[in-house]
């Protein structure tokens, strides 16, 4: 594993044996997840690999850790998701993007919620008044005051009329 180190206000990484992987040169950095760690310099975020190489350019205003193969990234006020090679799999147009659970990502836009797969496929329209992350392959959603559960395909499985 790798540890973050800070020197003169800059952050880098060292190996478990203390060998420098990435000299302290970034303003901030996250931990490694799925072989990638976010780094920030001059308020721009990108990702480095475990060899210390920048693999996703520092072009985002914010970035979150990779989880289930995707990372949420922000440009201006909008959020979306990228894969480990930096391809945008969920467009950077949403108000919020929550961490993936059961390989499903919950997004919101204009006060409504919907789901994408971690492959970037739309599972449901952005239509729910409230929605909660998947747990045990089901997600609780609220539409027009009615609460029910959907499966990984977005079909109602519990509380349906």
Q: Which pLDDT score, from 0 to 100, does residue 143 have? A: 97
The rounded average pLDDT for each run of 10 residues, N- to C-terminus, in the chain (161 residues) is 91 89 94 95 96 96 96 97 96 96 97 97 98 97 97 96 79
Q: Which pLDDT score, from 0 to 100, does residue 89 have? A: 97
Residue 108 CB contacts under 8 Å (≥ 6 apart), including other chains = 94, 95, 96, 114, 126
Q: Which pLDDT score, from 0 to 100, does residue 20 have? A: 86
Q: Which pLDDT score, from 0 to 100, does residue 100 have? A: 94
């Amino acid at each position: 594993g790798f540890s973050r180190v800070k020197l003169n206000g800059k952050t880098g990484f060292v190996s478990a044996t203390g060998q420098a992987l990435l000299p302290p040169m970034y303003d901030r950095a996250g931990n490694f997840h799925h072989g990638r760690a976010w780094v920030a310099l001059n308020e721009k975020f990108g990702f480095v690999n475990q060899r210390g190489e920048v693999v996703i350019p520092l072009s985002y205003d914010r970035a979150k850790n990779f989880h289930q193969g995707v990372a949420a990234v922000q440009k201006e006020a909008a959020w979306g998701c990228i894969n480990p090679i930096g391809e945008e799999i969920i467009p950077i147009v949403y108000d919020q993007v929550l961490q993936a659970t059961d390989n499903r990502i919950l997004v919101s836009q204009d006060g409504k919620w919907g789901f994408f797969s971690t492959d970037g496929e739309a599972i449901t329209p952005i239509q729910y008044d409230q929605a909660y992350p998947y747990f045990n392959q089901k997600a609780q959603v609220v539409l027009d005051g009615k609460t029910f559960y959907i499966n990984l395909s977005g079909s109602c499985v519990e509380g349906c009329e």
